[in-house]
Amino acid sequence: MAGGLNFRRGDGRSILLVSRPMDTRSPETPPPPAAVTPMMAQYIEIKAANPDCLLFYRMGDFYEMFFEDAEVASGALGITLTKRGKHAGDDIPMCGVPVHAADQYLQKLIALGYRVAVCEQTEDPAEARKRGGKSVVRRDVVRLVTPGTITEDTLLAPGRNNYLAAVSRQRGAGADGGDGFGLAWIDISTGEFRVAASDAGRFAADLARVAPSEVLVAEPVFADPELNAFWRGLPMAVTPLSPAFFDGATAESRLTGYFAVRTLDGFGAFSRAELSAAAAALAYVEKTQIGERPPLMPPAAEATDGVMLIDAATRANLELTATLSGDRRGSLLAAIDRTATGAGARLLAQRLAGPATDAGEIAGRLDAVAWMLADTGLRHAIREDLAAAPDIARALSRVTLGRGGPRDLAAIRDGLEAATRIAGRIGSGDHPPVIATAAGVLATAPQGLGEALAKALADDLPHLRRDGGFVRDGHHDGLDEARKLRDESRRVIAGLQADYAAETDIRALKIKHNNVLGYFVEVNAAHGERLMKPPLNARFIHRQTMANAVRFTTTALADLEAKIAGAGERALAIELAVFDELAAAVEQATATLRAIADALAILDVAAASAVLAEAEDYCRPVVEESLAFSIAGGRHPVVEQALRHESQSFVANDCALGPEETGDAGHIWLVTGPNMAGKSTFLRQNALIAIMAQIGCYVPARAARIGIVDRLFSRVGAADDLARGRSTFMVEMVETAAILNQAGPRSLVILDEIGRGTATFDGLSIAWAAIEHLHEVNRSRALFATHYHELTALSERLARLRNVTVRVKEWQGDVIFLHEIAAGAADRSYGIQVAKLAGLPASVVERARAVLAQLEETDRKSPVNTLIDDLPLFSAARIAGPAEAVADPVVAMLETIRPDDLSPREALEALYRLKAALREKRGD
């Protein structure tokens, strides 16, 4: 199977095999027998060279698919499956898609995990006819389209990078002596190329941060029993490759050859695993682009300790870029994205994926936001200019790959004009370094290139260069002459049609054109019979009979066609030559254009963050090299915006986890309170505030002081993983284990309801032990929400553990959620009240109340009270369990009344309820 690609796609629960190794091909594409048509023989030959792809075979205005490809594509795309001739005695299945609409079909196939080989005509049909009447136009695959190598605007999300990642493993190269990994990722649509070293402990988190569309891995690594389940569980395409792609011995020479340098020393120092991954990614790009070389930046080594480490589970739990259902709406990214350009949106998403851990870098970003906030008028003008700047990076990539069109050249033209305007608006002066650097880059915009593009390109541009009409009138004398002849000839065609209609007395007579017949006269079938009889048949020469129409030509029409074709071909040839000249000029300015695109993105993110801060009343956080964590009046950025749409306000809360009192480690807040009170929201909002601060964004709070968080861990919510045979509780324990094994003093940990997925005493014991471990071993800043009220007793023995609760208020048997965090502990969970709010039948609610009363009456003391005396660490501690259960319902009701909280009316109503309970007790 050497050289073959076995392409697989994972969806997080299962793996979809979308191709087969070359040595196990289906017998449906055998070598062509002697009787096969030349065209089908060509198709089979090209398909045999690309067995792992669906073959888009160009025939005129359609991409056709045959045999098994047709059956697969028709089902995947929902298009009609037909047949064309016979092969080996059987009908040949066939389906096709129009060339002009191919992108939308490609998008569907790529989203489903398929690879597509695009096969185009590589010679003019006229040349093929010179070889004989049965000669087939030469065709060949011009590119392979895979999830990680697409460049078309219609297939790409403007605000999201489309990364192709390669993973290389090196035995014994990890920091702890385990496996080391090299990770390389490329976005050929923008030219980004980065590499990083990783190890077994953080590799999964690093890959989740990059979030590639396609991952390349050597076949032995993919098949490794220790890693196979991991690859199969990834929510992106995974492509196993021959180990030759990852050959470390030739990796450096492949990289130096691609970038035309003698050594990689100028790019940085790379490990063997990093070089192997980078070389594999490059080789795959060259393979899929059929030798074309995208304008990639040299590989940049990225220090993994320069970004906050966030594992895949935490990213999902916090809904950073997508909700748990996969929607962007409702995510943190959607709530804070105010960018005006696709490049700015991508940069914001990159920062959100990997928040910085360098306080100086973060301060520089915040300075840029503050500068944008200070001058509303200038910020508004800059954002208007940014909105007029198309995506330079992606347009540049398509142009240099030979896939660009007139609109891509126009995008570069407009981007240069916007860059020049913004540089002029910012000017020189005492600006923050980020702003000054970006403005300096924009000032280098090549004026000559912008002027050349502006003079050459027309105002109304076609999508494809082969359509012509994109060069401005007056730009090229020869082009103007050819166009004049072509357009005049077309007016002659219209006159000739009128003459023929009058001569034959057929008003529906039309002169039409297609690529096969050229110009022809078309009438309906009834009139066709008359044109084929004397005397009209002497003038009208029969060409083709259709189901509802008959086509003819004339000597005059054929002569005129030759003149028109010649003029049109000359005009198009001149336009294509102009395009090539402009594309060459653009390619020469690649480095400058890419730097300008990056500068525009940086300014866009700074301006967008200022807009967000002003609109949402966010504050500038203080981010420092310490263990501080103090949030005053913190809010959840997503929930707050959602509540505003419902005309509700968000209740802000403080959070203090820093080591001010203890000096050497952060606090753990144990959060109790009923369901629906807002515990999970409180946990999440503090994690999100830390992330927002470290991406250089203002935060939803009155004030915030945050010591750098190097790793963020979250265990929130409940979900199973049936594909891996994991129950909800097993998933919970796996995620908790990852936290307890990896968190450190600079980490921020949020844990919600640990142990709730199993028996009560088992769960309580696990939660108890987890808190001890966090406090004594991890020493992390942490928020721990629980319904196990027995855990609150740990605050008496754990110096950095604080009890806080979400305040509620009871009113006439119902519970009112105040959403306020206060010191103390909840004395009950109010589960029955919440169940009532959820709409449980009244009979069920009342029965639950009765059962709860019986349980309380029989003694709800936890066996922990007995066990705690046997634990050395807590030998002097006893858990303050609930008060002794009281059988008397009147006494039980009295226990729930807080006189200081009652208004006069509430006190009177409580007295009536007590009298009613007393009568019920007596039976009267």
184 strand-pairing partners: 166, 195
Whole-number pLDDT of residue 178: 67
Question: Do 779 and 698 share a structural domain?
Answer: yes
Q: How far apart are CA 456 and CA 118, in angstroms?
A: 31
Neighbours of 920 (CB within 10 A): 11
Question: Do 264 and 176 share a structural domain?
Answer: yes
Question: Do 835 and 700 share a structural domain?
Answer: yes
Q: Which of 530, 563, 580 is the last residue of a domain?
A: 580
Q: How far apart are CA 137 and CA 125, in angstroms?
A: 6
Q: Which of 110, 125, 145 is the last residue of a domain?
A: 145
Classify residue 264: in a domain, yes or no: yes
At 587-598, the pLDDT tens digits run: 999 999 999 999
93-111: average pLDDT: 89
Mean pLDDT (the chain, rounded): 84
CA-based nearest residue to 407, from 588, 598, 154, 605: 154
Q: Is 875 annotated as a binding residue?
A: no
104-126: average pLDDT: 87
Of residues 452 and 666, more confidence is placed in: 452
Burial 631-670 (b: 16+ CB within 10 A, else e): beebbbbbbbbeeeeeeeebbbbbbbbbbeeeeebbbbbb
At 262-282, the pLDDT tens digits run: 888 888 889 899 999 999 999
Question: Do 761 and 626 share a structural domain?
Answer: yes
Q: Is 851 exposed, middle or buried (0-12, 13-18, 19+ CB in 10 A)?
A: exposed
680-693: average pLDDT: 96
Question: Do 232 and 118 share a structural domain?
Answer: no
The domain that contains 626 carries what CATH number?
Answer: 3.40.50.300
pLDDT at position 28 over 60: no
Lowest mean pLDDT among 443-457, 497-511, 893-907: 893-907
Whole-number pLDDT of residue 752: 87
257 token code pair: 């050859």
At 147-163, the pLDDT tens digits run: 999 888 878 888 899 99
pLDDT at position 813 over 70: no
Domain that holds residue 688: 618-728+738-850
At 542-565, the pLDDT tens digits run: 999 988 899 999 988 888 887 777
Confidence of residue 646 (pLDDT cuts 50, 70, 90): confident
Q: How far apart are CA 329 and CA 322, in angstroms?
A: 7
Of residues 735 and 585, more confidence is placed in: 585
Whole-number Cα distances in Å, 507 to 489, 498, 522, 527, 538 = 22, 9, 11, 10, 20
Confidence of residue 36 (pLDDT cuts 50, 70, 90): confident
Residue 395 and residue 406 in contact, taking contact as beta carbons nearer than 8 Å: no
Q: How far apart are CA 538 and CA 657, in angstroms?
A: 98
Whole-number pLDDT of residue 726: 55
Whole-number pLDDT of residue 566: 77
Confidence of residue 166 (pLDDT cuts 50, 70, 90): very high
Long-range contacts of 549-554 (CB under 8 A, 24+ apart): 549/522, 549/523, 549/524, 549/525, 550/522, 550/523, 550/524, 550/525, 551/517, 551/520, 551/521, 551/522, 552/520, 552/521, 552/522, 552/523, 552/528, 553/517, 553/519, 553/520, 553/521, 554/500, 554/521
Of residues 76 and 855, more confidence is placed in: 76
Classify residue 203: in a domain, yes or no: yes
Q: From its phi and psi, is residue 474 left (phi > 0), alpha (psi between -120 and 50) or beta?
A: left
Evaluate the omega torsion of the peptide bond into residue 535 and state whether it is cis, within 30 degrees of 0. Answer: yes
Of residues 391 and 843, more confidence is placed in: 391
**Which of the 8 DSSP states describes residue 774?**
I
Of residues 874 and 587, more confidence is placed in: 587
Confidence of residue 21 (pLDDT cuts 50, 70, 90): very low
Of residues 800 and 129, more confidence is placed in: 800
pTM over 0.85: no
The domain that contains 485 carries what CATH number?
Answer: 1.10.1420.10
List, in sequence order, the alpha helices (H) in 509-621.
525-531, 555-588, 590-616
Question: Do 132 and 13 share a structural domain?
Answer: yes
Classify residue 190: in a domain, yes or no: yes
CA-based nearest residue to 164, from 114, 113, 211, 214: 214
Confidence of residue 812 (pLDDT cuts 50, 70, 90): low
228 token code pair: 């196979």
Residues 6+ apart with CB under 8 A from 403: 151, 152
pLDDT at position 66 over 60: yes
The secondary element (H helix, E strand) that includes residue 670 is: strand 668-672
At 475-516, the pLDDT tens digits run: 998 898 888 877 887 788 888 999 999 999 999 999 998 877
Whole-number pLDDT of residue 787: 82
Question: Do 798 and 660 share a structural domain?
Answer: yes
Residue 262 and residue 22 in contact, taking contact as beta carbons nearer than 8 Å: no
Q: How far apart are CA 783 and CA 771, in angstroms?
A: 10
641-649: average pLDDT: 89
Question: Do 603 and 484 share a structural domain?
Answer: no
Confidence of residue 173 (pLDDT cuts 50, 70, 90): low
Residue 194 and residue 299 in contact, taking contact as beta carbons nearer than 8 Å: yes
Q: Taking the CA of residue 91 as centre, how many other CA atoms within 13 Å lie in the half-sphere pointing to its CB? A: 9
Whole-number pLDDT of residue 663: 64
Whole-number pLDDT of residue 829: 67
750 token code pair: 């949020």
Q: Is 673 annotated as a binding residue?
A: yes
116 strand-pairing partners: 54, 145
Whole-number pLDDT of residue 828: 65
3-state class (DSSP) for residue 711: strand
Classify residue 313: in a domain, yes or no: no
3-state class (DSSP) for residue 461: coil
The domain that contains 199 carries what CATH number?
Answer: 3.30.420.110
Lowest mean pLDDT among 247-251, 573-577, 632-636, 851-855: 851-855
Q: Is 372 annotated as a binding residue?
A: no
**Which of the 8 DSSP states describes residue 752?**
E
pLDDT at position 797 over 70: yes
544 strand-pairing partners: 551
What is the residue whose two structure tokens read 């010679």?
123
Whole-number pLDDT of residue 841: 79
622 token code pair: 């203080």
How many domains are contained in the chain? 5
The secondary element (H helix, E strand) that includes residue 911 is: helix 904-922
pLDDT at position 8 over 70: no
Classify residue 165: in a domain, yes or no: yes
94-121: average pLDDT: 89
86-112: average pLDDT: 86
Classify residue 191: in a domain, yes or no: yes
Question: Do 498 and 438 share a structural domain?
Answer: no
pLDDT at position 632 over 80: yes
Between strands 90-98 and 62-66, the pairing is antiparallel
At 136-149, the pLDDT tens digits run: 888 999 889 999 99
At 353-364, the pLDDT tens digits run: 999 999 999 999
715-727: average pLDDT: 55
Of residues 467 and 746, more confidence is placed in: 746
Residue 873 and residue 797 in contact, taking contact as beta carbons nearer than 8 Å: yes
SS (H, E, C) 73-136: HHHHHCCCCEEEEEECCEEEEEEEEEHHHHHHHHHHHHHCCCCEEEEEECCCHHHHHHCCCCCC
Q: How far apart are CA 252 and CA 275, in angstroms?
A: 6
Residue 633 and residue 703 in contact, taking contact as beta carbons nearer than 8 Å: yes
| Residue 864 backbone phi and psi in degrees, to 5 | -60, -30
Classify residue 263: in a domain, yes or no: yes
Question: Do 781 and 691 share a structural domain?
Answer: yes
Q: Is 679 annotated as a binding residue?
A: yes
Residue 184 and residue 165 in contact, taking contact as beta carbons nearer than 8 Å: yes
Q: Which of 92, 114, 145 is the last residue of a domain?
A: 145
List, in sequence order, the alpha helices (H) in 822-903.
831-838, 842-858, 864-867, 889-896
Rg (CA), the chain: 35
Neighbours of 109 (CB within 10 A): 21
Whole-number pLDDT of residue 847: 75
Q: How far apart are CA 735 and CA 751, in angstroms?
A: 10
62 strand-pairing partners: 59, 98
Classify residue 899: in a domain, yes or no: no
Question: Do 826 and 720 share a structural domain?
Answer: yes
Confidence of residue 661 (pLDDT cuts 50, 70, 90): low
Question: Do 392 and 302 share a structural domain?
Answer: no
